[in-house]
Amino acid sequence: MIDVTTPPTPQRNRPLLGAKRVYKANTKHIPVLATLVLLVVMYSVGVYNYDGFGDTQVVLNVFVDNAFLLVVAVGMTYVILTGGIDLSVGAVIALTTTVAATLLEAGWPAGVVLPLALLIGTVLGLGMGCVIHFFKVEPFIATLAGMFLARGLSLLINRNSIPITNDFWTQMAQKRFRFDDGVFISLNVVIAVIVVVLAALVLAWTRFGRNIYAIGGNADSALLMGLPVGRTRIAVYTFSGFCASLGGVLYSFYTSSGYSLHGQGLELDAIAAVVIGGVLLTGGSGYVLGTVLGVLVLGLIQTIITFQGDLNSWWTRIVVGILLFAFIVLQRLVTRKAK
């Protein structure tokens, strides 16, 4: 006779399954925590070795000098979270600054040039997203084509550096928010912080953000669950294009010029910042806050090399390359343990 009061075997394993889920959730934070620890160590080393490194303005200058990169990296974060990549962002910055400088030099009002400049990357991102979704083209190839297109158009418009002397652009470039004597941030930093906050809230609290994580985790499963995979991917690349154009506008504020060679290699800096910030290259895991930390790490490397004084600027690339290897290995170790 069967004892119906005996609980089935699967019931006994449920606590273990729950513990495994908790372990997986906790491991997601390891790369971000590693980046935070690295940032603290780098800053401590800088303060210990260099006079004046601990000044408040030195820290704020990291934000001032990298605000445009932070905006671009936020858009790249969305793309990489879906398991994609966007190689066009550096070229979009060049095209945005070149078009803006050319139109302003021709006498166009800033109120018309600014939205047109922001529209450039947005339209290109929309086009790349549609190609990726409807024609099943790999993101690497589609965005590589977008990179060549944007860089080629900027070279076609003007190969020379174009100074921007428009009154509105100059005022925006010189706008400062002062906290004390010699302590300030630029308008670029304020815009970058707004973008970061909004992007983080969208990822954490909206259905669109949950869809991004689901697609990055497993696109086929997300499709079977009835999630709008195609629409979400197109929106992500459109957003990345918009961030690239906005980054181009901020870059034109920062340099007061438009140039077809602006932003060379910046797509690699953005990818590096996202990966160092703990976002998995395979998608599905990561945070905007991690990207902010990644950008700050890149900025601190440049600052330390500047304070050292006798090191070539190419040491920045060497150190970033080493950190990328380290964080990619860390990601692999974390994902293996989670499985």
Amino acid of residue 177: F
Count of domains observed in the chain: 1
Structural domain contains residue 22: no
Structural domain contains residue 9: no
Structural domain contains residue 320: yes
Closest CA to 219 of 208, 206, 201, 232: 232
Structural domain contains residue 3: no
Residue-wise pLDDT tens digits, 61-80: 999 999 999 999 999 999 99
Structural domain contains residue 17: no
Structural domain contains residue 330: yes
Spell out the residues 6+ positions from residue 180 whose beta carbon is closer than 8 angstroms to its own: 56
Which pLDDT belongs to residue 15?
46
Spell out the residues 6+ positions from residue 213 whose beta carbon is closer than 8 angstroms to its own: 81, 203, 284, 285
- Using CB atoms within 10 Å of the CB of residue 47, give its burial: 0 to 12 exposed, 13 to 18 middle, 19+ buried: middle
What CATH number does the domain containing 174 carry?
1.10.3470
Amino acid of residue 285: S
Structural domain contains residue 118: yes
Which pLDDT belongs to residue 42?
94
Q: What is the mean pLDDT of the chain?
A: 90
Instruction: Round to whole Å and give the CA distance between 216 and 164.
Output: 41
Q: pLDDT tens string for the chain (339 positions)?
A: 444 444 444 444 444 444 444 445 457 788 899 999 999 999 999 999 999 999 999 999 999 999 999 999 999 999 999 999 999 999 999 999 999 999 999 999 999 999 999 999 999 999 999 999 999 999 999 999 999 999 999 999 999 999 999 999 999 999 999 998 889 999 999 999 999 999 999 999 999 999 999 999 999 999 999 999 999 999 999 999 999 999 999 999 999 999 999 999 999 999 999 999 999 988 988 999 999 999 999 999 999 999 988 777 788 888 999 998 998 888 888 777 655
Structural domain contains residue 63: yes
Instruction: Round to whole Å and give the CA distance between 238 and 126.
Output: 4
Instruction: Give the C-alpha distances (Å, rounded to integers) separating 52 from 59, 94, 128, 307.
Output: 11, 34, 46, 9
Containing structural domain, residue 287: 31-338
For tokens 């006798």, name the residue.
310
Which pLDDT belongs to residue 259?
97
Residue-wise pLDDT tens digits, 151-200: 999 999 999 999 999 999 999 999 999 998 889 999 999 999 999 999 99
